[in-house]
Structure 1
Amino acid sequence: MGEPSHEATATVHGDEGEEPAGAAAMFANDRASQHLGITVDDHGPGWAQCSMTITEIMTNGHDITHGGYVFLFADTTFAMACNYPGSITVASGGDIDFLKPTFMGDHLIAHGREVVKQGRSGVYDVEVRRGDEIIAVYRGRSRTLPPPKPTTTSP
């Protein structure tokens, strides 16, 4: 299924070996995106590119792609763009405009980029394309969670 590219597999080096960090860590556990065949083509701080091919199971009763799958694809790209190494960032909201229908077999590419990041909040735009056509635009709002509090153990 979907796998991050070499760029999406940044790791954090620690005493216990290497562990995925940021977007790579999130995608490593993102079973929904992997199940749909979404791939992370490339990403870096504040941006990402992902791709997905529409399968028969993703089509609705009109034989066009169900909007929920396009939303999930754009939302995954947004997540790859906003999850920096060393932080856990989640969506606080997201909106999508569907501009053109897509169909079984269409190959989609999504480009996400940071518009603004202030403190723990951010805004990101994602364009979903089929070739040169923009088929949907998505705006996601993010919130970076505070670092977890250290746990204390009793002797």
Structure 2
Amino acid sequence: MKIDHYARHLGIAVQNFGNGDATATLRVGPEHLNPHGTAHGALMLSVVGAALAAAANNETHSGVVSSIHIDYLAPAHEGDELVATASVGERLAREDIFVVRLTKAGEDVPVARASGRATRRDR
């Protein structure tokens, strides 16, 4: 897999990618906080997007993400480890619809829930 330099810059680590599933993690630091002292929404979207992009790509297909819809459900704070898990919800003829769940490590309570769409192209 190619390196996601943006995700790396933010501190996001991606694991378990390929075959329509992926996990992305990030520990929230002080540089990730908004003026309210909670994790910035754009940061949470970036963790979700990294998991979705990794799930959409594998050795044979390049997945081009065309949309993400995210619902923010709870705040994250400095020191929280965010975990985004992405999986295929629907497999269509030329694209996949993904479900992504963002939680805090060790908790099953969602911080955000997202859906995303990616077109499959042969590599």
TM normalised by structure 1 equals 0.74
Instruction: Quote how far apart the aligned CAs of 1:54 are.
Output: 0.7
* Alignment coverage as a number of residue pairs: 121
Structure-2 residue corresponding to 1:35: 9
User: Cα RMSD over matched residues?
Assistant: 1.3
Structure-2 residue corresponding to 1:141: 117
Give the greater-gyration-radius structure (CA): 1
Query: Once the two structures are superposed, what CA deviation does each residue of 1:102-141 show, in whole Å capped at 9, x if it has no partner?
Result: 1111101111100112122110001000131210001001
Structure-1 residue corresponding to 2:68: 94
- Structure 1 unmatched runs, 5+: 1-23, 148-155
Structure 1 moving runs of 4+ over 4 Å: none
Q: Structure 1 counterpart of 2:42, which letter?
A: G
Matched ranges for 1:1-155 at <5 A: 24-25=1-2, 28=3, 30-130=4-104, 131-132=106-107, 133-145=109-121
Write the distance in 2 (CA, Å) between the matches of 1:146 and 1:41: 22
Write the distance in 1 (CA, Å) between the matches of 2:59 and 2:41: 30
Residues 146 and 86 of structure 1: CA distance in aligned 2, closer, same or farther (over 3 Å): closer
Write the distance in 2 (CA, Å) between the matches of 1:47 and 1:87: 14
Instruction: Quote how far apart the aligned CAs of 1:99 are.
Output: 0.4
Residues 86 and 44 of structure 1: CA distance in aligned 2, closer, same or farther (over 3 Å): closer
- Structure 2 unmatched runs, 5+: none
| Structure with bigger RCO (C-alpha 8 Å, 6+ apart) | 2
Matched-pair identity in %: 26
Larger fraction in strand: 2
TM normalised by structure 2 equals 0.91
Residues 77 and 136 of structure 1: CA distance in aligned 2, closer, same or farther (over 3 Å): same
- Conserved 8 A contact 2:60-2:122: no
